[in-house]
Structure 1
Amino acid sequence: MATFVTVFVSGLALGSISALVALGFIVTYKATGIINFAQGGLVTLGGYLGYLTAVQFGLDWWVAYPVVVVLMFFVGVAVERIVHAPLRSRPELVVVIATLGVGLVISAVLLEFYGTETRTLPALLPGKVVDIAGANIAAYDLVIIGVTAVGVTLLALMFNRTQLGRQFRAASLDPEVAQLQGIPVKAFGMFAFGLGGALAAVAGLMLAPRASLETNFGFTAMIAAFAAAVIGGFGRFAGVIVGALVLGLVEQLGTQYVAYQFKAVYPFALMILIVAIAPRGVLGSQSRVRV
């Protein structure tokens, strides 16, 4: 029982990281109709900026991490200005491929500066464990789950309880009508890419202490997050979160109780199964995904 609880909480933590990346996908998609495949590179960049500020510059995490999140917001805005804005009138597939190109450029630049050597970002509360039902749970896993819960709550409050959120939803539902009503649709596109960059930064900072920090580590997280978005029903925040948590649990439980060597297979086998049964996701997508 203790082992199950430990693996279960670890799966929730892994799923929470995927949820953060997937929410970056959904925010951008809702505002622009584009799936931003630069998210993988942005997650990687967020992890490396955390390493730069907290390890190389020696800043305390409570100073370094907020700085990284703010910087990554503006990196996301820059991606929108460089990739989305000039290609807005082109077919969506062209823009999607361009975003993937941005992610690959980010990885190439990081490879040039840091090489192939792997690095580790120190975890918050290193070595600390919490006893839950007789199981020793890594305190850092609880930190990840808590950070994700706070982030999701803030996003929900912003989109459902603020004027900014209402305008954002109006712009995503019908951009042309929203623009006629004086809503700055293009500005919301920039904001969405920026918010996606900030979410990628948080995910990278949370993931880096759990995985070796190397120039492609964010792409693995991006693929898992995309699978979570598909499982949950692209366009629905609740569905994406459920999909991410389920994927994290399936991966960890499968690794522990079935076969470790198929660790990377379990999430995508589940995705194929669910898509075959429910093509619009477990909660149903709100609109057709454009790629």
Structure 2
Amino acid sequence: MTPLAVSGVELTQTGLSGLALGSLYGLIALGFVIVYKATRVINLAQGGTALLGAYLTFWLHVQAGLPYILAVVVAVLLCAAQAAAVERWLIEPVLSRDIHASLMVTMGILIAVQALVAGVWGTDQRNPDDPWRLGKVSLGGLSMTTRDLWVIGLAALAVVGFFLFFRFTLVGTAMRATAFHRVAASAQGIDSRRIGMLAWAIAGGLGGLAGILLGTTVGGGLQPGIANAALVALSAIIVGGLDSPGGAVLGGVIIGLAQQFAASYAPISLGQDVSTVLPYVVMVAILVFLPTGLRGTAEIRRI
């Protein structure tokens, strides 16, 4: 089916589903950018944090009996604490010696988290028993899942909350100063180590929330493949700009829309998995024409 053969309502519904998917990519991508700006580390363990958030919520809600909303809040806080601990005890000791070593540490953490989740909860798909399940909301001919509406709302709330914090609080100002020039910020009395740990904590919380929403019933339930969303989010930060929080969110939305429209309307002749490949095609196309992404900062070097 092609876009010309469908109604405007169907296109709008596909766009809204793509927006919901892109919002989740945007949350994970924003975590990548926050960590990169604060510590210059590309945190490959972000996918593991998303996976951990989803399974911790399952454990707290389904197995421990906590109300779902409380389980989500506790899981997000635990993900933030886990990320902060990783930064303090595993990343900080190697960061000053070799940036590549810190990258390999994050990759090792991702592998360890995936093994931990598989060992504790297994690899079978599990029902998260989320309150939205497969419920739908219809309005003016449009039909959306209740989960997608909540995803868009919660993602928007998280992103707006972060930008308000980043722009208008003293801690946010310290984070921006550290991101601009870590040494100069330290010279002005800003504890760059504490700011780095806070950045990792925020990124962990965002990643955990994204994983929770990815692991809902509409999203296919709990499965180890949730961690792969971080690989797609990596393409989103390349599209938006590696050092741009706004670009990360924009890139996530672009990738989500591209995937959803490809899954719905791409010709069968292109293959069944074209929507899986498309994010990386978009990433390469952007890199060819805009090496720093849509909103990234070009590096200026004096000769």
In the superposition, the TM-score normalised over structure 1's length comes to 0.94
SS in 2 for 1:130: strand
**CA 1:56–1:62 in 2, change beyond 3 Å: closer, same or farther?**
same
The amino acid of 2:10's aligned partner reads: T
Separation (CA, whole Å) in 2 of partners of 1:70 and 1:195: 9
Q: Does 1:217 align with 2:229?
A: no
Separation (CA, whole Å) in 2 of partners of 1:247 and 1:51: 28
The amino acid of 2:293's aligned partner reads: G
Partner of 1:279: 291
Separation (CA, whole Å) in 2 of partners of 1:25 and 1:162: 21
Stretches of structure 2 that go unaligned for 5 or more consecutive residues are: 1-7
Moved more, 55-64 or 200-209: 55-64
Q: 2:112 aligns with which of 105, 121, 126?
A: 105
Q: 1:261 aligns with which of 268, 273, 284?
A: 273
Alignment check: 8 A CA contact 1:236 1:286 kept? no
Separation (CA, whole Å) in 2 of partners of 1:29 and 1:56: 35
The amino acid of 2:215's aligned partner reads: A
Stretches of structure 1 that go unaligned for 5 or more consecutive residues are: none
Partner of 1:235: 243
Residue 176 of structure 1, CA deviation: 1.1
SS in 2 for 1:265: helix
Task: Provide, for residues 164-195 of structure 1, a one-character-per-residue CA deviation record: whole Å limited to 9, x for no partner.
Answer: 11111111111111111110100011111111
The RMSD of aligned alpha carbons is 1.5
Q: Does 1:33 align with 2:2?
A: no
Separation (CA, whole Å) in 1 of partners of 2:89 and 2:106: 9
Residue 131 of structure 1, CA deviation: 2.2
Moved more, 16-25 or 77-86: 77-86
- Equivalent residues in 2 for 1:111-260, closer than 5 Å: 111-209=118-216, 210-218=219-227, 220-258=228-266, 259=268, 260=272
Q: 2:28 aligns with which of 21, 35, 53?
A: 21
Q: 1:48 aligns with which of 45, 55, 59?
A: 55
Separation (CA, whole Å) in 1 of partners of 2:67 and 2:192: 38
Separation (CA, whole Å) in 1 of partners of 2:192 and 2:274: 44
Aligned residue pairs, count: 287
Separation (CA, whole Å) in 2 of partners of 1:267 and 1:132: 31
Separation (CA, whole Å) in 2 of partners of 1:154 and 1:124: 24
